[in-house]
Amino acid sequence: MVTAKDTTAPTTRVTPVEEIEGDLHDGRGRIGTIAGIRWPYYVLLLAVLIVAGYLGALPDEMISGFAITMVLGGLLWWVGSIIPFIRDYGAPTVLCVVLPAVIAGMGLLPDALVEAATNFTSGYGFINFYISALIAGSILGMPRKLLISAGARYGVPLLGMVVTVLASIGALSALVGRGFFDGIFFIAAPIIGGGVGAGAVPMSEMYAAQMGVDAGDALSQIIPAVIIGNIFTIIIAGVLNGLGKNGRQMFTGFNGQGNLLRAAGDKDEYKMPERSTAARFNVLIVGVIFAALLYTLGQVIGHFVPAVHPYAWTILAAALIKIFGLLPQTYEDAASGWFSFVAAAWTPALLVGISFAYIDVSAVLALISDPMYLVLVLCTVLIAALAAGAFGYLVKMYFIESTICVGLGMTDMGGTGDVAVLSAANRFELMPFMQISSRLGGALVLLILSFLLPFV
């Protein structure tokens, strides 16, 4: 007997590992799973954390910090990624950065939980752990020719943007009756000054010494501008990501899709390699060793030359290693693989930690009542972004990438803000250039202020 051939298409069975990998790397949240975990289990994990926090059974240790930030970060990232349209404009990043601080400020989370997450992020150095991986991996994984070409022309948009922002915001501030130098010292300079630790804090000490005011009072006037400017910066980064979605070009040289330079000749020599979504365990081990040692080397050099932030020395050391080919390709690839793993695994966690540790909701709310202050802060970020894009375009950089690296890299909150901005812009490959802007650019702002302060 001849039977009819079964033409039914075979059922494709997705294994548990494939389900997790797909959820983590497809860039979209799924209704059934959160960060690769099915929602009933995720709710249980969240409940355990909250109960432990209220019972005082949550130890102030690294393991608690990982648990808190990864569970909350995964949830908020999932919520932001399932909202149509705005997910392309930085919704996951904004939720992770803003909501934890708001919830903590309203007293809706146990104090022990908030304290553990804060200490984990700032006190235990999770930020340094994260950023060291990004610096080492992104520089060592960068094409050598791109590194050399970009470094030679980076100073043009950096210096041009700083001068444009200080002059413009000073003039706008004088126009609305706040004073020329008030606009520079308490709005423009803090926002483009390199963040909190490397910018706002030394800036407040400089103001105290020159103006005869208390350093703490000066810092309280500076911090809100940094925080609000950082929020505007993240939103603009998300907007740029949306404008450049799917390679969209509004004009020639508008969107490099993660590549900084509009290169002549063989573009493959300048193109950033794709980030790997998987790496063998032995590769990750080698990668974390080189990332940690590069960070340590930066600290050693910074000990002898404290005027420059150790991050800058880490960047310089990694760049010299890459330029002169001092490491075998296999070790460079290992550092790049570690960078890919860290970016995929811990970005939402770090953003949540940043929110708990650095976002002061009460300070932000105190200034929202002054609309003109908000306008000047927004103008600072917008002018910085547009000026950086324009000056970068003149030296053969892509407009979006120059805007992000120089403009937004200077107006965010330093290293922590760099992570949030690149997450919203979906361009983690640009981390080395963001760090150059935050650290060396911030140092340039302090230098300019040291010349301006005697005229106050």
For 355-398, the pLDDT digits (tens) are: 888 777 776 677 667 889 999 999 999 999 999 999 999 988 89
Measured torsion, CA atoms of residues 162, 168, 171, 173, in degrees rounded to the nearest 10: -90
Q: Using CA atoms, how far apart are residues 10 and 231, in angstroms rounded to an integer?
A: 49
Torsion angles phi and psi, residue 213, rounded to 5: -100, 165
How confident is the model at residue 407, as a pLDDT? 93
Distant-in-sequence, close-in-space partners of 251: CB < 8 Å, separation ≥ 6: 399
| Token digits of residue 147 | 């590194």
Amino acid identity of 361?
V
Share of the chain above pLDDT 70, in %: 84
CA dihedral (322, 324, 327, 330) positive or negative? positive
Range with lowest mean pLDDT among 182-196, 322-336, 442-456: 442-456
b/e sequence 360-369, b meaning 16+ C-beta within 10 Å = ebeebeebee
How confident is the model at residue 420, as a pLDDT? 84
CA distances from 306 to 124, 144, 374, 441 (A): 22, 28, 34, 16
Share of the chain above pLDDT 90, in %: 34
Greater confidence (146 vs 239) lies with 239
Q: Are 421 and 238 in contact (CB under 8 A)?
A: no
Beta strand 37-38 with 33-34: parallel, antiparallel or unpaired? antiparallel
Ramachandran region of residue 194, left (φ > 0), alpha (ψ -120 to 50) or beta? Answer: left
On the question of pLDDT at 319 being above 60, the answer is yes
Q: Using CA atoms, how far apart are residues 87 and 40, in angstroms rounded to an integer?
A: 24
Greater confidence (347 vs 87) lies with 347
How confident is the model at residue 151, as a pLDDT? 67
For the stretch 162-208, pLDDT in tens is 999 999 999 999 999 989 999 999 999 999 987 766 677 778 877 88
On the question of pLDDT at 29 being above 60, the answer is no
Distant-in-sequence, close-in-space partners of 221: CB < 8 Å, separation ≥ 6: 186
CA distances from 43 to 24, 69, 115, 232, 352 (A): 18, 15, 22, 32, 18
Greater confidence (274 vs 163) lies with 163
How confident is the model at residue 19, as a pLDDT? 52
For the stretch 112-138, pLDDT in tens is 999 999 999 888 888 889 888 888 887
Q: Of 200-204, 309-313, 406-410, 411-415, which one has max mean pLDDT?
A: 406-410
- pLDDT band for position 278 (cuts 50, 70, 90): low
On the question of pLDDT at 320 being above 70, the answer is yes
Q: Which residue has the tokens 């340039």?
A: 444
b/e sequence 304-327, b meaning 16+ C-beta within 10 Å = eeeebbbbbbbbbbbbebbeeeeb
Q: Using CA atoms, how far apart are residues 241 and 425, in angstroms rounded to an integer?
A: 5
Ramachandran region of residue 253, left (φ > 0), alpha (ψ -120 to 50) or beta? Answer: left
On the question of pLDDT at 418 being above 80, the answer is yes
CB atoms within 10 A of CB 339: 29
On the question of pLDDT at 257 being above 60, the answer is yes
On the question of pLDDT at 95 being above 70, the answer is yes
Q: Using CA atoms, how far apart are residues 103 and 107, in angstroms rounded to an integer?
A: 6
- pLDDT band for position 345 (cuts 50, 70, 90): confident
Indicate the SS3 state at residue 257: coil
CB atoms within 10 A of CB 418: 29
Q: Of 125-129, 309-313, 338-342, 380-384, which one has max mean pLDDT?
A: 380-384
Q: Among residues 131, 132, 135, 142, which one has the least CA distance to residue 322?
A: 142
For the chain, domain boundaries: 16-123, 126-455
- pLDDT band for position 263 (cuts 50, 70, 90): low
How confident is the model at residue 125, as a pLDDT? 84
Interval 49-55 mean pLDDT: 93
Range with lowest mean pLDDT among 13-17, 38-42, 431-435, 451-455: 13-17
- pLDDT band for position 31 (cuts 50, 70, 90): low
Q: Are 265 and 234 in contact (CB under 8 A)?
A: no
As to burial, measured by CB atoms within 10 angstroms (0-12 exposed, 13-18 middle, 19+ buried), residue 389 is buried
On the question of pLDDT at 4 being above 50, the answer is no
CA distances from 297 to 139, 205, 291, 304 (A): 15, 28, 10, 11
Q: What is the pTM of this model?
A: 0.72
How confident is the model at residue 331, as a pLDDT? 93
The CA radius of gyration of the chain, in Å to the nearest whole number, is 23
How confident is the model at residue 72, as a pLDDT? 95
How confident is the model at residue 339, as a pLDDT? 86
Distant-in-sequence, close-in-space partners of 418: CB < 8 Å, separation ≥ 6: 131, 409, 412, 431, 434, 435, 438
How confident is the model at residue 26, as a pLDDT? 44
On the question of pLDDT at 279 being above 70, the answer is no
- pLDDT band for position 277 (cuts 50, 70, 90): low
Q: Are 241 and 424 in contact (CB under 8 A)?
A: yes
Interval 396-408 mean pLDDT: 92
How confident is the model at residue 55, as a pLDDT? 93
- pLDDT band for position 273 (cuts 50, 70, 90): low
Q: Which residue has the tokens 């550092």?
A: 335
- pLDDT band for position 65 (cuts 50, 70, 90): very high
How confident is the model at residue 450, as a pLDDT? 79
| Token digits of residue 347 | 């970005």
Q: Of 144-153, 265-274, 444-453, which one has max mean pLDDT?
A: 444-453
